[in-house]
Amino acid sequence: MKNKRIYLAPMVGRTDEHYRMFIRILSNNINLYTEMITCDSFIHTDRQSYQVKAKENNLTIQLAGSDPKKYGYCAKMIEDNGYDEINLNIGCPSDKVVRGEFGACLMNSPKLVAECVSEIKGSCDLPVSIKTRLGLGYEEDLDLLYGLIDETSVAGCKKYFIHARNAILNGLSPKKNRVIPKLRYQDVIIVKRRYSDIEFYLNGGLDNISEIQNNISFFDGVMIGRKIYDDPMFLRVIESEIYGNKDIITRDYIIFEYLKYARPLSKKGVSNYMLLRHLFSLYYNTSSAKKWKKFLHDIIQHDKDIMLINDFEESIYEEKISSYS
């Protein structure tokens, strides 16, 4: 299974640079994604903030927008900034998409998306991929998706991440759109069989190792979002069961390594909130989960020295010892 690829799903408000550095301590093998970035914000934000860090190998940037020229303009800068791949978001169901700006509604405009792909391909040598849904609304046929793949694959996209649900654009929040439209893995299998020369990655609801193992053997790989965010140590199960990496990494070690990255930033003025907010689930499903959350809250709220997180394991240990006496 070592050649199978697992991707961390792009998640706005989550997969920022600090989270990606945290994830890299847990897994060397997982492929990383940025949060979704609109072409406009990429163009207007200071280049420095999109510079890829050395440890962030295998990093895909996800762009959103509907102007082919802007995609082309971004693509060259993205290549120069060290990213490995450009992904187009054709799956986001937020309110903005109803106004036709980006995301899932572009499933209705496959020729426009193909133009965006062509502009990127004409501006840089990076691979282009698309992340999308099975369809729009309540219809369960696959015609929209086929139309999208037919047009965009001719334009040069050979890799698709399929969130195995439809997107419901009018009335359902993005959060509900990740739960209510039902998961249809079987339909993604049908799509994969139809296009033998194209890579397909299954996404949506993958939250246990046997399901991942089953699907990874059929698809080119899988993409996982919430399970990893809610239970980061699950990455160690993935490392062991998919990649054969049996090294044991303790939470103590993860904190220690993360501080090597975070402390200099903290000294430069990056807030504890930004640096620590993605660490809350580190003790997920353990007896220390609640204490850890409280501990982090206290450090963030009272702006304490970030190095204090190093003391957490010791404080639990001492608590245990004193409970015996």
Ligand X SMILES: Cc1cc2nc3c(=O)[nH]c(=O)nc-3n(C[C@H](O)[C@H](O)[C@H](O)COP(=O)(O)O)c2cc1C
Confirm if 117 and 155 have CB atoms less than 8 A apart. Answer: yes
Helix or strand (DSSP H, E) at 324: helix 312-324
Q: Does 92 bind ligand X (CB under 6 A)?
A: yes
Is 270 within 8 Å of 300 (Cβ atoms)?
no
Distance, in Å, from the CA atom of 226 to the CA atom of 207, rounded to the nearest integer, reads 8
Per-residue contact track with ligand X, 107 to 126, x per CB under 6 A? --------------------
Touching ligand X, residues 38-67 (CB under 6 A) = 62
The answer to the question of residue 178 lying near ligand X (CB under 6 A) is yes
The 182-221 contact track toward ligand X, x by CB under 6 A, reads: ---------------------xxxx---------------
Q: Tell me the C-alpha distance between 141 and 135, whole Å.
A: 7
- CB of residue 39 to ligand X, shortest distance in Å: 14
Between 276 and 306, name the residue whose CB sits nearer to ligand X.
276
**Catalytic site residue 92?**
yes
- The DSSP secondary structure of 87-132, one letter per residue, reads EEEE---SHHHHTTSSGGGGGG-HHHHHHHHHHHHHH--S-EEEEE
Decide: is 9 part of the binding site for ligand X (CB under 6 A).
Answer: yes
CB of 296 to ligand X, least distance (A): 19
CA–CA separation, 319 vs 316, rounded Å?
A: 5
Does residue 226 belong to the site contacting ligand X (CB under 6 A)? yes
The residues that touch ligand X, with contacts defined as CB under 6 A, are 9-14, 35-36, 62, 89, 91-92, 131, 163, 178, 203-206, 224-227
Active site residues: 92
